[in-house]
Amino acid sequence: MAVADNSFSMSTMFNALPYSKGISGFIPPPGFAPRASATPLHAALFNLMTDGEGVSYFKGMISKSDKTVLQRMASLLTSDSDYFMAIVTNKYGSRRVQKLLGKSDDVDALFCAAILRRFLHITTDKYASYVTIRATVVFDKEIKKAIYEHVLYHALDLACDQHGCIALNDIITDADDPYYRDQLLDLVASNALWLSNDASGNFVVQHVLTLYDLRCTHNIAVNLFGHCIELSFKKYGSYIVEKLLEAEESMVVVVVELLDCDGDTLMRLARNEFGNFVVVKALRFTKAMSKIDLFWGLVQKLMPFLHLLRRSHGSNIASILDSFKLRC
């Protein structure tokens, strides 16, 4: 059976979907293994969505399409979970699906159902995850709730995934529903210790601390109390502790732990390649925030090790202590 027309027109798409660059719909495009129920229309649409050279062509077609055509297109794209996954895990497919989101509630409902069917797989994929992120921005409030419920349920799985943690951070930042935003922040705070020790999860803890939500920051500090020194010896853990020092609500928690540890531990931390930045920040921020008692406590505890600090990663700390001695 021959294809009568190889030119593409959205208005005639579902009568005879054109095949970009003359590719026949009967030949499955690379990356897609259609099921027995798949049609030439599926193959041609796959090619349209994933062709790396068809960006302007796709934009032009979408701009000229009415809601009815877009809904039929969305229906075809979401008719099979494997088919949808093959498209959204493609760099160009992901971008083009994102362009279709927010066009109408009917279209969004179809895409929402498709996302939820493979939610964790989609939201932990390098490219497909941006479809979920975009959905939480442009979907109607009621449709968006279903996405938020899945985000909340799978939040820890997302946080501990290389790409999922990026998606979770973006979703938390853009969350416009106070209930779900607070629920996600509380979940991160209550699991702060576990996440802080995870290769991907620590980025989520770092991120929520940059949102300067006072309640969340306080809760994270409380849950990390007793573990701040341990974290400060680690590269990414030290970043988290440094961020805690930047907020008055959490700074005291960290400094009290530094003051409570024995002198040898504080000296080793001050000379550590990562921990020295924590100690420097503790000195600077206790002084800047006029926490004189805490600042003095750190100075007095570090002063006996001044000669050792000068010959190590603690040289910046030694400089602070030296300047203090000169002023005295």
**Is residue 258 within a helix (H) or strand (E), and if so which, with residue range?**
helix 248-260
Span 20-26, mean pLDDT? 35
Residue-wise over 109-119: b if at least 16 C-beta within 10 A, else e? bbbbebbeebb
* H helices, E strands: number in the chain: 23, 0
Residue 35's pLDDT is: 53
In order of 130, 165, 226, 265, the CA distances from 146 in angstroms are: 17, 20, 38, 48
Q: 290 pLDDT exceeds 70?
A: yes
Residue 17's pLDDT is: 42
CA distance 208 to 307: 38
Comparing 26-40, 279-293, 300-314, the range with the smallest average pLDDT is 26-40
Q: For 37-71, what is each residue's pLDDT tens digit?
A: 567 888 889 988 998 887 888 888 888 888 888 99
Q: Residue 149: what are its φ and ψ, rounded to 5°?
A: -60, -40
- pTM score: 0.86
Comparing 1-5, 59-63, 81-85, 181-185, the range with the smallest average pLDDT is 1-5
Q: How confident is the model at residue 314 (pLDDT cuts 50, 70, 90)?
A: confident
For residue 5, count other CB atoms closer than 10 A to its CB.
12
